[in-house]
Structure 1
Amino acid sequence: MSRWQELTGGTSGNEYAARFDALARSGKDVHGEASFCAALLPAGGRVLDAGCGTGRVMIRLAELGYDCVGIDLDASMLEVARTQAPELPWFLTDLAEFDPAGLGIRADFDLVVAAGNVLPLLTPGTEAAVVRRLAAALAPGGLLVAGFGLDAAHLPVPPTITLKEYDTYCAVAGLTLVDRFATWDAAPYDDGGYAVSVHRLGS
């Protein structure tokens, strides 16, 4: 069972969406992840939202002109996503077992984004396999963008993955570190408790 399922019971879709709706109504920008990705890839590119949740990031990217696919293990989150954007492709799947061909998806994404602490909330021991499967879904030169917490202040669970470990998983999967930031606003990384990493398939 994933740490996310242990934390939420797989029933928090509506609650999660309501939290971000409230932030948006208060005037806060809730599209930082989508804006970050859009700065890396021209409109029209193919994007996989890995751990898409209620679809907040993917729906915005689709509005900006990207060809998007969303995958997630939490049916309650996907139910919200499908209600908000029924025209977009949403798939219920475990990232550790993600097989694009099995879902009828082309494995030539220009960018894969894993936002919202996806990596620390995986099933323990599957982190390397997930990185490998996400890398395999990229087109040559494609980007893997992942943002996640590294300490207790930035995570709802005890920290489980370090940047060194993540970079090692990426290297084994054929990914090279391009850049690293402290926030989705692209603030320089300062060895703090949150990191947004950009890796490219190939050197």
Structure 2
Amino acid sequence: MTEPSTWAEMTRANPEHSTWYVERFRAMAAAGADLVGEARLVDALVPRGARILDAGCGPGRHGGYLAGRGHVVVGVDVDPVLIDAARQDHPDATWLVGDLAELDLPARGIAEGFDAILCAGNVMTFLAPSTRREVLRRMAGHLRPDGRAAIGFGAGRGYDFEEFLEDARAGGLVPDLLLSTWDLRPYTEGAGFLVAVLRRA
């Protein structure tokens, strides 16, 4: 069993946190907020009908958007409350409760690799530090040889960007493109956010 994630600790401390999180994003969507910029970037990386893994999918807004664009989407999140919301709000994708540090989709009957992996919403910073390299290794193992992973998170969250890139390399992923936003602004030193588009080494 892996070390518990920061998210797991938060939800243990406040059992209503996940429900609050779901309702917050539902309210934002109802108000017309643009919540799928991350998914649009991934949509641009892949051909029509691609297989996409939404890693740390939360309540499914990104994977739901991508499924609506005609892709085959599998979303995985450790939080069953968030997965229940994803199933309710976005029934056209497959949603699974699971720990990214133990990700083994072939063992769950999902055998094909993915054209793309999306890992948004600061998911990498919610992981237990001891599991980060293993999560990245398992992501690499779930990519097709020419697939790419788009992973984004903010600075000041306890995971230095250089450390992340080192962990990614150790896990078998190397950068294709580094950005400072999901809307394609180039990455510069001192940026407050990193979007790394990675491929298998």
Q: In terms of mean alpha carbon deviation, does 93-102 or 2-11 score higher?
A: 2-11
Q: In 1, distance between residues paired with 2:123 and 2:110?
A: 21
Is contact 1:54-1:80 (8 Å) kept? Answer: yes
- Aligned residue identity for 2:75: G
Matched, 1:93 2:92: no
Question: Under a length normalisation based on structure 1, what TM-score does the superposition of the two structures give?
Answer: 0.90
Cα distance change, pair 193–38 in 1 and its aligned pair in 2 (3 A)? same
Matched, 1:7 2:10: yes
Is contact 2:136-2:173 (8 Å) kept? Answer: no
Is contact 2:133-2:167 (8 Å) kept? Answer: yes
- Which of 123, 142, 155 lines up with 1:137 in the alignment? 142
Q: In 2, distance between residues paired with 1:80 and 1:192?
A: 33
Q: In terms of mean alpha carbon deviation, does 182-191 or 62-71 score higher?
A: 182-191
Which structure 2 residues correspond to residues 47-66 of structure 1 after superposition, within 5 A?
A: 47-66=52-71
Q: In 1, distance between residues paired with 2:27 and 2:58?
A: 17
Is contact 2:10-2:17 (8 Å) kept? Answer: no
Q: In 2, distance between residues paired with 1:173 and 1:146?
A: 14
Is contact 2:11-2:18 (8 Å) kept? Answer: no
- 1:163 offset after TM fit, Å? 1.4
Residue identity over aligned pairs, in percent, reads: 39
Cα distance change, pair 11–103 in 1 and its aligned pair in 2 (3 A)? farther
Partner of 2:184: 186
- Which of 15, 35, 42 lines up with 1:30 in the alignment? 35
- 1:87 offset after TM fit, Å? 4.2
Aligned residues: 195
Matched, 1:75 2:80: yes
- 1:107 offset after TM fit, Å? 4.2
Task: Provide the secondary structure at the position in 1 that maps to 2:130.
Answer: coil
Q: Deviations over 1:78-97 (max 9, x none)?
A: 11111113342111111101
- Which of 154, 159, 164 lines up with 1:161 in the alignment? 159
Unaligned runs of 5+ in 2: none
Unaligned runs of 5+ in 1: 152-158
Q: Deviations over 1:84-115 (max 9, x none)?
A: 13342111111101111211112410101111
Is contact 2:77-2:96 (8 Å) kept? Answer: yes
Is contact 1:12-1:77 (8 Å) kept? Answer: no
Q: In 1, distance between residues paired with 2:84 and 2:168?
A: 31
- 1:137 offset after TM fit, Å? 0.3
Is contact 2:175-2:199 (8 Å) kept? Answer: yes
Is contact 1:143-1:198 (8 Å) kept? Answer: yes
Task: Provide the secondary structure at the position in 2 that maps to 1:199.
Answer: strand
